[in-house]
A and B are shown apart, each in its own frame.
Chain A
């Protein structure tokens, strides 16, 4: 982002909201927007900046969620430690996925990433003795910051806001730094990048590993906030698609795009579900149809994502642009 004002405005609104808003439903929405925005931004490091379209990032999200939940319930270890353990595990798995990305191109890589998350789903749902299997794990509520037992949603807003700003800064770094330029080159044309002395393979693997670790951190915080880890949710393809969709909708390979995309998706989904999804309303499921149509229209008229689309109309440069 050459112009940081939209991002400043976005994060300022998020920071000021808890001072004014008391409504738990709205605060919950804000927390989810920031949480999904951060997750999509973490995905964006690999999918946007390195051009490795992963559809298996829920693997890392799930690793983060499970690490903290298991360490917490089995040994009473702080979720902050769990966050680090999850990030380390995800980094290791990220290296494996990065290694795959050097062997598989395009759709084959995408398919491999789906398989990757589904293998972890199988492990989590079948290894009953350790993970409680498909029942999932309720995260016990132990009050305090060290145990992340926080009832006040306003505190959660600031906690997740810190994560979101951190992720945003990672993206800004990728926009401006030497490594960012090199990654952009690898994304555009790997052979040409190699011919100019860019260690393309190492760079891609590093980007995927960092993306994995950050996604795991989001997974940990999400599990602590929601209070329950369900293997069929945290390792789902749906979740992977959500990260990817938010980033693409907002503007892939831009720092603020994932947050904007997450905001649109979360608000749309929540409001449509509240409006049409109620039991007995006779319209269960119609929100999915409207949701789908809105996404199709956005992609039709703003294929590069909302942020570049708005940017072109306001004449500022939102970033390196789309992968093309």
Chain B
């Protein structure tokens, strides 16, 4: 059975249809990329899966259980974690306290949560910043922080909105390696990404959206050669 199933999801904002009848399945252990031009409905889809928006039609299921209609905190506790495109660290808290908030969703023991948070900071390479206030971090470090915080909730599936967006070229390889490692260790990921080089390298499957509709769904090779994807988004056939 698929881990996550998106079935016929439609979301309208007034006259704009941000998502129209979108369906796809995510198998356990998959890393799926979501691509599409700005305004194609990628982030709206994430908001719906994570419970921040409720769709006008269709539903999202996790391991057969319905997520649609639940509040975001319930969705998280059921095992769906996310990061935000526009990063949202708890700026006034320290880095380790940020991650502890995530860990405390799974444990009631503050000391245990702190130990867990430190492990995760080690994992994302932020250990030496543990006691710094989150507002002092660079964009790349904030991305790592959001990742650690989301991982602390022990997700079954992690939604990443723009891993490499807004960070400089030198920072990208480290972040990409981190995502790869998480996937290698068995985590299921759904990743929105604009950087084609990155997404074709890490994703097993790519879902392409355009004007709120799914226009392609398949292996990176197939999707990047798809006529509609090329016309709508890539401009030319993408070759590595």
Contact = CB atoms under 8 A, between A and B. Distances in A.
A196 B105 contact: yes
Nearest to A183: B101
Contact of A188 (B90, B102, B113, B150): B90
A323 B90 CA distance: 10
The residue among B77, B82, B93, B149 with the most chain A CB atoms within 10 A of its own CB is B93
Nearest to A200: B73
A99 interface: no
A322 B73 CA distance: 25
A199 interface: yes
A199 B73 contact: yes
B92 interface: yes
Nearest to B108: A178
A184 B90 contact: yes
B97 interface: yes
B84 A197 contact: no
A191 B100 CA distance: 16
Contacts of B92: 184, 188, 320-324
A320 to B, nearest CB: 7
B134 to A, nearest CB: 9
Interface string B80-93: 01101000111111
A299 interface: no
Interface in B158-183: none
B2 to A, nearest CB: 23
A198 interface: yes
Interface string B144-156: 0000011011000
Contacts of A80: none
Interface in B79-127: 81-82, 84, 88-93, 97, 100-102, 104-105, 108-110, 113
B101 A198 contact: yes
A112 interface: no
A228 interface: no
Interface of A is mostly: helix
Given A176-B110, A177-B110, A191-B52, A197 B77 contact: yes
B69 to A, nearest CB: 15
A193 interface: yes
A51 to B, nearest CB: 10
Contacts, number: 89
A265 to B, nearest CB: 25
B36 interface: no
Given A181-B100, A181-B110, A194 B72 contact: yes
B101 A320 contact: no
Interface string A240-279: 0000000000000000000000000000000000000000
A283 interface: no
A224 interface: no
A188 B93 contact: yes
Contacts of B104: 178, 181-182
Interface in B193-216: none
The residue among B52, B72, B101 with the most chain A CB atoms within 10 A of its own CB is B101
A185 B82 contact: no
A189 interface: yes
A12 interface: no
A192 interface: yes
Contacts of A200: 73
Contacts of A185: 90, 93, 101
Contacts of A198: 73, 101, 105
A254 to B, nearest CB: 13
A205 to B, nearest CB: 14
The residue among A176, A178, A189 with the most chain B CB atoms within 10 A of its own CB is A178
A87 to B, nearest CB: 26
The residue among B88, B102, B104, B133 with the most chain A CB atoms within 10 A of its own CB is B104
A320 B105 contact: no
Contacts of B88: 189, 191-192
Given A177-B110, A181-B97, A181-B110, A195 B91 contact: no
B70 to A, nearest CB: 11
B97 A184 contact: yes
B236 interface: no
A173 to B, nearest CB: 11
Contact of A196 (B101, B108, B110, B133): B101
22 contacts: A176-B110, A177-B110, A181-B110, A182-B104, A184-B92, A184-B93, A184-B101, A185-B101, A188-B93, A189-B88, A191-B88, A192-B88, A192-B89, A195-B72, A195-B76, A195-B150, A196-B102, A197-B73, A197-B76, A321-B93, A322-B92, A324-B92
Closest 3 CB pairs of A and B: A197-B105, A197-B76, A188-B90
Interface of A: 176-178, 181-182, 184-185, 188-189, 191-201, 320-324
Given A185-B93, A320-B97, 17 more contacts: A178-B109, A181-B97, A181-B100, A188-B91, A188-B92, A188-B93, A191-B52, A191-B72, A191-B84, A192-B88, A193-B90, A194-B71, A195-B52, A195-B150, A198-B73, A201-B71, A323-B92
Interface of B: 50, 52, 71-73, 76-77, 81-82, 84, 88-93, 97, 100-102, 104-105, 108-110, 113, 133, 149-150, 152-153
